[in-house]
Amino acid sequence: MNHFPYRDGELFAEGVPLRRIAAEVGTPVYCYSSAALTANYRAFAEAFAGQRATICYAVKANSNIAVIRTLARLGAGADVLSEGELRRALRAGVRPGNIVFSGVGKSPDELALALETGIGQINVESEPEIEALNELAAAKGVRAPVAIRVNPDVDADTHEKIATGMKENKFGIDFDRARAVAAHAGGLPGIEIVGVAVHIGSQLTDLAPFSAAFRLLSELVGGLRDDGHDIRRLDLGGGLGIAYQDETPPTPKEYAAMIATATDGLEVEIVLEPGRAITGDAGVLLTRVLYVKKGVSKTFVIVDAAMNDLMRPSLYDAHHAIIPAIEPAPGTNEGADETADEAANEARVDIVGPVCETGDFFARDRLMPVLHSQDLLAIGCAGAYGAVMASTYNSRPLVAEVLVKAGDFAVIRPRQSYDDMLGAEKMPDWLEDARPLPSTQPLPPKGVA
């Protein structure tokens, strides 16, 4: 179901017109749909109802506490990658036992907090990390529940920057060394091996790489059990893609059926860590047109959002649908690619932001309805890896985030003020004095030495 529909010519989020949110909160602003979050989570929960599965939402996709809490109330756990994400999950009400701590570079302080909190699982990714965790756990008189993350050397067939399961990637322990590493770890006083884990990448739209990796993992479980390890969990990570443009990703039901086949007969608890598949299409970024600039060879639609607000197009050349808040006239091929024909009520444009970078764009050569200053646009599928990757580059304050539920909405992160942004910086003592700064002399007139 589309939770951002046009109604009587106007774009809504559930029962709230997006034009109202823009008017009351300003732009740019991220807007998330509670109904979409709920529907996407339930699609996973229902697909895995016949398996012993725990769904731990990957907090890195969208770490707003209200989003995490919306999912936690539905029964989701959390997959976290830092102390900050762990604290967010706890603040949102996720039970510690339903939290998995992943990541290749957990610091000693982060590992200590994980132990103190009593989270359900720590995914270890290197031998030095195992040694550090063992030392911390033994000092506290506890055993850390770990899953050994392996690198299966499986090509996920996704963007190189979000592939994580090849030998050249930094993630996981080499598959061929997993049994030897487990043999050593299993003898350490502070380590309890409870499972094995894998995550081969993000935005996968084909089940074949998943299946190959999961079958290897299933074989490893058998070998580890033969070695005397009590392997109870199989952490299969996340990575299921969504449709940004014309992709046809597998459904959660198809994904669940493949996992059931790959793990048949193992008698293990499955841990899943979907992120983008839950929040991606549950959010849009609202932005307003500032100017329409007609260049020699291109027309630029300059909007008030920028690459610092949504990095994906600049970072990954990612495609996001962009639609106007007022429905285009019938026959307009909004968002069509470069192969579509241009009509009288359309124009081929680059949609760009104000940041001083050529890479500051949201769309190139995109066929759009003719746009004007102050038109409101919605950038689709911005609920994952949008606000979480934002920065204050060009000293642009972080934008607001809004959560919609039925006919109501709430600001779940206020727009950062300039005072907030500047107040986070401190002047060193040697620059704190009352002396006036020297005045800047005007440049001399042209031709005057």
Q: Domain holding 365: CATH number?
A: 2.40.37.10
Cα–Cα distance measured from residue 37 to residue 214, given in angstroms and rounded to the nearest whole number: 27
Q: Which two tokens stand for residue 144?
A: 């850390």
pLDDT (average), residues 58-69: 98
Same domain, 78 and 227: yes
Rg (CA), the chain: 25
Last residue of a domain, one of 241, 258, 280: 280
Would 417 be classed as within a structural domain? no
Would 8 be classed as within a structural domain? no
User: Where in the sequence is the domain holding 56, given as residue range(s)?
Assistant: 32-280
Question: In this structure, are residues 77 and 57 in contact, taking their beta carbons and an 8 Å threshold?
Answer: yes
Would 244 be classed as within a structural domain? yes
Share of the chain above pLDDT 90, in %: 80
Residue 306 DSSP SS3: coil
Is the pLDDT confidence value at 166 over 50?
no
Q: How do residues 74-86 score in pLDDT, each as one tens digit?
A: 999 999 999 999 9
Same domain, 270 and 287: no
Is the pLDDT confidence value at 340 over 90?
no
Cα–Cα distance measured from residue 76 to residue 94, given in angstroms and rounded to the nearest whole number: 8
Same domain, 311 and 203: no
Cα–Cα distance measured from residue 446 to residue 390, given in angstroms and rounded to the nearest whole number: 43
Same domain, 180 and 298: no
Same domain, 239 and 293: no
Same domain, 252 and 386: no
pTM: 0.92
Last residue of a domain, one of 220, 251, 280: 280
DSSP code of 213? Answer: H
Would 405 be classed as within a structural domain? no
Same domain, 40 and 140: yes
Residue type, 117: T
SS3 content of the chain, % helix, strand, coil (to 5): 30, 25, 45
Q: What is the pLDDT of residue 6?
A: 97
Which amino acids are annotated catalytic? 356
Q: How do residues 303-324 score in pLDDT, each as one tens digit?
A: 999 999 999 999 989 999 999 9
Is the pLDDT confidence value at 443 over 80?
no
Same domain, 205 and 247: yes
Same domain, 312 and 380: yes
